[in-house]
Amino acid sequence: MSENENKPQSNFIKEIINEDLKNGKYEKVHTRFPPEPNGYLHIGHAKSICLNFGLAKEYGGKCNLRFDDTNPSKEDVEYVNSIMEDIKWLGFDWEDRLFYASDYFDALYEYAVKLIKKGKAYVDSCTSEEISEYRGMPTKPGIESPYRNRSVEENLDLFERMKNGEFKDGEHVLRAKIDMTSPNMNLRDPIMYRIRHESHHRTGDKWRIYPMYDWAHGQSDSIEGITHSVCTLEFENHRPLYDWFLDELEIHHPRQIEFARLNLTYTIMSKRKLLELVEGKYVDGWDDPRMPTLSGFRRRGFTPESIRNFADRIGVVKRDSIADVSLLEHSLREDLNKRALRRMAVLRPLKVTITNYPEGKEETLEAVNNPEDESAGKRGIPFSRELYIEDRDFQENPHRKFFRLAPGREVRLRYAYIIKCEEVIKDESGNVIELLCTYDPETKSGTGTAQRKVKGTIHWVTRKDSIDAEIRLYDRLFTAENPDGDKEKSFKEFLNPDSLEILSDCKLEPSLANVKPGDKFQFERNGYFCVDTKETGNEKIVFNRTVTLRDTWAKIAKNRN
């Protein structure tokens, strides 16, 4: 990576901030990340996290974490805890600035009373169907509610009784009084409060009315002294409402700026649809390594550095676009290539016996831990008469471009010797179960006598000292680039039936005997793997494939076309 790539890149948001600071509109930069605790964060949220916390860091400012907990029917403490864990894992710290929209419920109520007194808000007793009908269409002006001109006194009385729980859900709402003919539908007397007889995970049963997002968000920003409220493009048409509330209340006015959200190929970003996958048992929970959630990426073996680098690479733009998931995988490979220790693991073992290697003899060979990092040093690996190799590294009737092991052919064992296949042993069904080979003792790797060359080099593990493990080969969850793009089909019809393959009889080199959950390695010739954080225990080692060594999907897509 060049020196320029390490420097913060300019974007339109920074240009706006620079202008605001230059003109003295704000003295400092104060941002916030405001997740709704109704699900786990996904890779799209990572872009917003990196942007908001990154801007604060770059400008020497602050960034708050504020939970938008205004809808108790969909929220859970589990989601709150997972969100905080994800942000910390990504490498960001809100310090002492952890807030909740519910912290401001009393203030928001008083703000609403202020608008009622100004004649800018009223209690509407229409049904939800009537409210929807009266709003009109984008090409047709709305109709004023018959309750729009209630007196201030009546509105104040009804609103307080709503708060006290005297009415049923849906019996009344509080609406802002703006303009039912506005071409912007968000300004057609939007709902500020609805009645919900539900217990809140923080405020308990204190409230029987809960604020809508558009009402709570801007005022929460104002209370916290936020200067730049950075959000995604779907809120662009909400900005006039954001500004209207703040102007009418005459309080600190942050600046809302919209950017394009992250869309990723072969990925679903809708929390509602991700919840469908979880509840329908299509995946093993929110942290299933195939899920685009940050907890799923973490369990699969992604590094926070790779995700932050990916967010930097895709940049910040104003128009929606779809990023190629291959770029995310490239960022991951680039990071793991530098840090992951190399090890040998045989995923589908085939026994090899070296008939001319002395029985009972063992020797320790020297292997490099990471060719990209000299400080990682070397390790010893045992070598003996009986080994395991990958079954794919042998073909009884090899095709023309196959340069690995075959009857009468030679291959080099990585860090070891050249061996030659002399005989093939099969079971009663005709399956190859063992290869009898000979080795050339003059071809030991790393010695001056190892001059003879062969075309193929394969990995292996010694049979006597090998470690048993389960390895899970994870692949993309969907087969279509845009699984949500077909109006005639459900996104679930594009689920990849081969997104998970479990191999239960894998053999690892003995240096992997004491691995810990979360440890990451490159299994030579097989890809990058991570010790699973949920299934690995005293009796079992489970590895998840994080990513292949190369982008195999590009080749598959080309062949399909």
117 and 245 part of one domain? yes
State the CB neighbour count (10 A cutoff) for residue 17: 24
Helices 105-117 & 213-224, crossing angle to 10 degrees? 110
Structure confidence by residue, pLDDT tens digits, 281-302: 999 999 999 999 999 999 999 9
Inform me whether the pLDDT recorded for 176 exceeds 50.
yes
Buried b (16+ CB within 10 A) or exposed e, 261-299: bbebbbbbbebeebeebbeeeebbebbbbbbbbbbbbbb
275 and 414 part of one domain? no
pTM of the entire structure?
0.90
Exposed (0-12), middle (13-18) or buried (19+): which is 374, by Cβ within 10 Å? exposed
* Of 520, 192, 490, the residue nearest 335 (C-alpha): 520
In a domain, 4, yes or no: no
In a domain, 298, yes or no: yes
In a domain, 266, yes or no: no
In a domain, 384, yes or no: yes
Residue the block writes with tokens 């690479």: 313
115 and 255 part of one domain? yes
Across 45-190, the runs of DSSP E, i.e. the strands, are 62-67, 98-100, 121-124, 173-176
Q: Are 249 and 134 in contact (CB under 8 A)?
A: no
Q: Is the dihedral of CA 491, 496, 499, 503 positive or negative?
A: positive
In a domain, 125, yes or no: yes
293 and 324 part of one domain? yes
**What CATH number has the domain bearing residue 236?**
3.40.50.620
160 and 217 part of one domain? yes
- Would you place residue 556 in the very low, low, confident or very high pLDDT band (cuts 50, 70, 90)? very low
3-7, 58-62, 87-91, 304-308, range with the lowest pLDDT: 3-7
In a domain, 493, yes or no: yes
In a domain, 1, yes or no: no
129 and 30 part of one domain? yes
pLDDT, position 342: 98
pLDDT, position 2: 41
493 and 356 part of one domain? no
Q: What is the DSSP string of 461-487?
A: EETTT-EEEEEEEE--SBSSSSTT--T
* Of 261, 262, 249, the residue nearest 219 (C-alpha): 249
* Domains: count for the chain: 3
**What CATH number has the domain bearing residue 326?**
2.40.240.10
Residue range(s) defining the domain that contains residue 492: 271-341+469-560
Alpha-carbon distance of 510 to 533, in angstroms, equals 20
Buried b (16+ CB within 10 A) or exposed e, 337-369: eeebbbbbbbbebbbbbbeebeeeeeeebebeb
Structure confidence by residue, pLDDT tens digits, 189-203: 999 999 999 999 999
End-to-end alpha carbon distance in the chain: 33
pLDDT, position 5: 46
Average pLDDT over residues 39-66: 97
Inform me whether the pLDDT recorded for 373 exceeds 50.
yes
pLDDT, position 90: 98
Active site residues: 36, 261, 271
Task: Return the C-alpha torsion angle 454, 459, 465, 466, nearest 10.
Answer: -150
The residue out of 229, 261, 293 marking a domain boundary is 261
pLDDT, position 452: 79
- Would you place residue 539 in the very low, low, confident or very high pLDDT band (cuts 50, 70, 90)? confident
The residue out of 212, 229, 261 marking a domain boundary is 261
Alpha-carbon distance of 226 to 244, in angstroms, equals 17
- Token readout for 378 is 């070397």
38 and 145 part of one domain? yes
The residue out of 237, 261, 285 marking a domain boundary is 261
317 and 228 part of one domain? no
315 and 425 part of one domain? no
256 and 290 part of one domain? no
In a domain, 179, yes or no: yes
Residue the block writes with tokens 């299509």: 282
Structure confidence by residue, pLDDT tens digits, 2-37: 444 445 567 899 999 999 999 999 999 999 999 999
36 and 75 part of one domain? yes
Inform me whether the pLDDT recorded for 224 exceeds 70.
yes
Q: What is the identity of the amino acid at 96?
A: D
